[in-house]
Structure 1
Amino acid sequence: MRVLRSLGVSCVALASAVSLLAGCGGPGEQRHGGGRADAARPAAPGGNRPEGRPPAALRLDLPFDAYKWDDRDVWLLERARYTLVARCVRERGLDFTMPRNTADTGPPAGYDNSRRYGVADPRAVSRYGYHLPADPDGDRRRRRLQVWSEQVSAAEESAIYGDGTEGDLGCYGQADAVVDRGVAATADADDGWLAARSSATLERSGADPEVVRARVRWRDCMFRAGFRHRDPDAAGGDARWNLDGAAVPAAEVATARADVRCKESSGLLRSWHAAETALQRDAVGRDRPRFDRIAAARATRLGNARVVLAGEQPK
């Protein structure tokens, strides 16, 4: 069964960097310690974040955020795609049985970089260590979709995903064509370009001299607290932590709490964020027309999604 494609933005039209069940892959960057992947295009939505939107001090807003898809954008787009697919399948004379893959209420707008440089929220690490916060609602949706994938009829599956013949992308392909209406063909290349630039600014800012000095201060702070990790990546990526498992051992929580405290006292978080902010601001200034194209494509897709959800057809 091909349920994985239903969980996120299609690989063809809107390649994602993260998906709930790894359905589609794409460019992005991932920090150790359960950091979020960073994509220029939508990822598969899991609904509202269980911990809510991070406080402003932890959001770590960056210039590229204005050109990326935040959780609310993805939620809106996925609901529009689901609506179009359901309509398409029923127009073919078939029952549409696929469970909805989004929460009923959309998450707050705004891009979240709170784990871009590793864990930073003392409240979250006190409960989850380096694990991503639990998402019970998202887990339930994934389970429903998995059950559905095991029993969906061949006719419905073929209608949704296509029958495998060349040119037949199924109802999802048709939905993506509607969402993409009015978007220039170069937009996909520009989004891939943005994802690569976002990865590059993260890595380049990590080599900034002040960031390097702050990382040394972080290490010394951790050593004084009894933790022998050379940098935050090593702490979050410690082989003792099974970040794919449910258990969060006490040692992981203690390490993550010390990690956050030392990021604050060393100034690492502030230094790294400031260095990357400067790099991204310069990048936007140098390539303003390209960034404008990315913003226009995102706005067009979101506008089309809103039209679909209003029961109309994008022009």
Structure 2
Amino acid sequence: MSPSRAQATTALALLLLATTACTAGEHASTPVSHSLPVSRQARQLRLPLDAYASTVAENHVVEDAQDILMRRCMNGRGMEWKALPPVDAQDTEPPNLRRYGADEAAAVLYGYHPSPDPPSVVRRNRAWDERESLPAEVQRTAYGPSGKGGCRKTAQHQLVGDTAPPDYRAFNQLTGTALETSRRAPEVRDALRRWHTCMAKSGFDYPDPFAAAGSERWETAEPTAAERATAREDVACQKSAKLVTVWAAAETRIQRRLIQQNSGRLHEAKVRKDRWLAAARRVLNRDGG
């Protein structure tokens, strides 16, 4: 994995680990839709701590700006540098997708399996893969012998000077704490009991939506009819119990308290993130369109 991709993947993995429930493994041949199936509720769900982490789209902005500067550096050394293809706006996952369990739009089609990547995401991932097979000389020029130098280091310095990369440790810690704390809130426990009762009426015995989504039964190459039926009932019971609405309100209250208690750490992290993003947008506006 190229260093720049490794950095982006690590940050995103930490973010997703803190904000999403477990789902079943990859599936092989389900047809790819033209955009991600995501409900309006998931698209609109925002939590206070979101301001302190980068969205997938914001990560792409930084990557694209660095690409412009990388290409300039590589061209100056007599080498080509192919820019990453863009990802369509509707193809990026919202930050809190599946935070409280399965999402209705994807559950109907894929059960608890992850939705297939849309074409624009597939193209960008393929471009990352192609970079990992570049000739050794090109890789050294791009990343240096250590993987932290070369044109990548030059581009990063041109982008933000000595500003360190965004640090999401505070966000990841606090968003995980908020999720677990809100889960124990009386109103959320009541909503989970309503969800459990609703599921039990249809013959399902799961303690919560995370247990339903993480069942070993769904570790199949493709979503089964039983999986889809379970997921459909799951999201129907979420609606009946008003689970997402209740849980999001409880967690919003808890996150606001955590932000007040950790304002210093979070402010520093946000300043760094905003500097990178603003610098990237300046490069794109000036040189990339």
Distance 2:233 2:173 in 1: 32
* C-alpha contact 1:10 1:176 (8 A) present in aligned 2: no
The 3 A distance-change label for structure 1 pair 52 and 310 is farther
Are the structure 2 counterparts of residues 112 and 259 from structure 1 closer, same or farther at C-alpha, using a change threshold of 3 Å?
same
Aligned to 2:216: 239
Structure 2 unmatched runs, 5+: 25-33
Amino acid at match of 1:305: A
Under a length normalisation based on structure 1, what TM-score does the superposition of the two structures give? 0.76
User: Which residue type is aligned with residue 12 of structure 2?
Assistant: A
Quick one: which of 299, 303, 306 aligns to 2:281? 306
Matched residue, 2:234: 259
Superposed CA deviations along residues 15-69 of structure 1, whole A, max 9, x for unmatched, are 5132xxxxxx67941533439xxxxxxxxxxxxx922764257532111112221
In structure 2, the CA distance between the partners of 1:50 and 1:303, relative to structure 1 (3 Å rule), is: same
- Change over 3 Å in CA distance of 1:118–1:57 after alignment to 2: closer
Gaps of 5+ in 1: 19-24, 36-48
Identity of aligned residues (%): 30
CA pair 179-208 structure 1, distance change in 2 beyond 3 A: farther
* 1:227-252 Cα deviation digits (max 9, x unpaired): 22222111101112137x4x221111
Q: Deviations over 1:142-180 (max 9, x none)?
A: 234434533x21110111221138xx5222233333333
- Find the partner of 2:84 among 84, 100, 103: 100
Q: Which has the higher contact order (CA 8 A, sep 6+)?
A: 2
> For residues 1-315 of structure 1, what are the structure 2 equivalents within 5 Å?
2-3=1-2, 5-7=3-5, 9=7, 16-18=11-13, 28-29=17-18, 31-34=20-23, 50-51=35-36, 54-56=39-41, 59-96=44-81, 98=82, 100-103=84-87, 105-106=88-89, 112-121=95-104, 123-137=105-119, 138-150=121-133, 152-164=134-146, 169-181=149-161, 183=163, 188=166, 191-242=168-219, 245=221, 247-311=222-286
Q: Which residue of 2 aligns with 1:45?
A: none
Instruction: Output the amino acid matched with 2:51.
Output: A
Q: Distance in 1 between matches of 2:159 and 2:198?
A: 50
- For residue 77 of structure 1, give the secondary structure of its aligned residue in structure 2: helix
Q: Tell me by how many angstroms 1:304 deviates.
A: 0.6
Residue identity matched to 2:238: K
The residue type paired with residue 230 of structure 1 is P
Residue 23 of structure 2 contacts residue 113 of structure 2 at CA under 8 Å; is this kept in 1? yes
Q: Which amino acid aligns with 1:299?
A: D
1:307 is aligned with what amino acid? R
Change in 2 beyond 3 A, CA 1:9/1:80: farther
Query: Per-residue deviation at 1:188?
Result: 4.6
Q: 1:304 to 1:100 in 2, by over 3 A?
A: same
Q: Structure 1 residues 193, 147: closer, same or farther in 2, change over 3 A?
A: closer
Compared with structure 1, are the counterparts of its residues 196 and 310 closer, same or farther at alpha carbon in structure 2 (3 Å cutoff)?
Answer: same
Q: Alignment RMSD, CA only?
A: 3.1
Report the Cα distance in structure 2 between the residues aligned to 1:210 and 1:153, rounded to whole angstroms.
57
Kindly indicate which of the two structures has a greater share of residues assigned to helix: 2
Relative to structure 1, the CA distance from residue 307 to residue 107 in structure 2 (aligned partners, 3 Å threshold; closer, same or farther) is farther
Structure 2 Cα separation of the partners of residues 64 and 32 of structure 1 = 18
User: In structure 2, do the counterparts of structure 1 residues 106 and 125 end up closer, same or farther at CA, with 3 Å as the change threshold?
Assistant: closer
How has the CA–CA distance of structure 1 residues 51 and 188 changed in structure 2, closer, same or farther, with 3 Å as cutoff? closer
Cα distance in structure 2, aligned partners of 1:85 and 1:58: 33
CA drift at 1:84: 1.6
* CA–CA separation in structure 2 for the residues paired with 1:65 and 1:303: 17
- Distance in 2, matches of 1:80 and 1:59, equals 27
1:306 alignment partner, SS class: helix
Asked if the contact 1:114–1:120 (Cα under 8 Å) also holds between the matched residues in 2, the reply is: yes
